Amino acid sequence: MSKLNDNLKSIYKYSGYIAAFFLILVAGFILIGIASRIFGFYIRGLAEYSGYCMAASSFFALAYTFVEGGHIRITLFLEKIEGNKKKYLETWCLMIASFFSGYLAFYFIKMLIISYKFQERSEGADEILVWIPQTSVAIGSTVFFVCVLHQFILTILNKSNA
């Protein structure tokens, strides 16, 4: 169980690195867009690509941010509760979060499969196959689901995430 725990934590950390990489790409696309306007040439699809990278960055960052305690949580409410009630409430919250994050991941994967099956293209100037940017969103949401479920299981087993 310890080896699995360590491997999952590594996945969450690398997910954060991937999110940072996509943020760097967003900055690069924006800077290229600004430079292209200054020098009078047009690069097709830059705005769309920066949007795709922003979505990828957001979803890859979810698991890392959750593990590091960066998400808005109900800790203000939980601090006022003591004893077993606190553990039960925290477990209930993680159970609900596991359900909704699993639901989200399921539908992003379903959306990805449908887009791939029908070879759907974006409506922007680039006309890229939509399943390409949707892949990062589906992977990021799945890693987030695994992260929340992992924390839920650790809470049930009464173990710390540290």
- Which of the 8 DSSP states describes residue 51? H
DSSP string, 88-102: HHHHHHHHHHHHHHH
- Residues 6 or more apart in contact with residue 101 via CB below 8 angstroms: 141, 144, 145, 148, 149
- pLDDT tens digit sequence for 53-68: 999 999 999 999 999 8
pLDDT tens, residue order, the chain (162 aa)? 789 989 999 999 999 999 999 999 999 999 999 999 899 888 888 888 999 999 999 999 999 999 988 777 667 777 788 888 888 888 998 999 999 999 999 999 999 999 999 999 988 777 889 999 999 999 999 999 999 999 999 989 886 554
Burial class (CB in 10 A: 0-12, 13-18, 19+), 158: exposed
pTM: 0.87
At 21-53, the pLDDT tens digits run 999 999 999 999 999 989 988 888 888 899 999
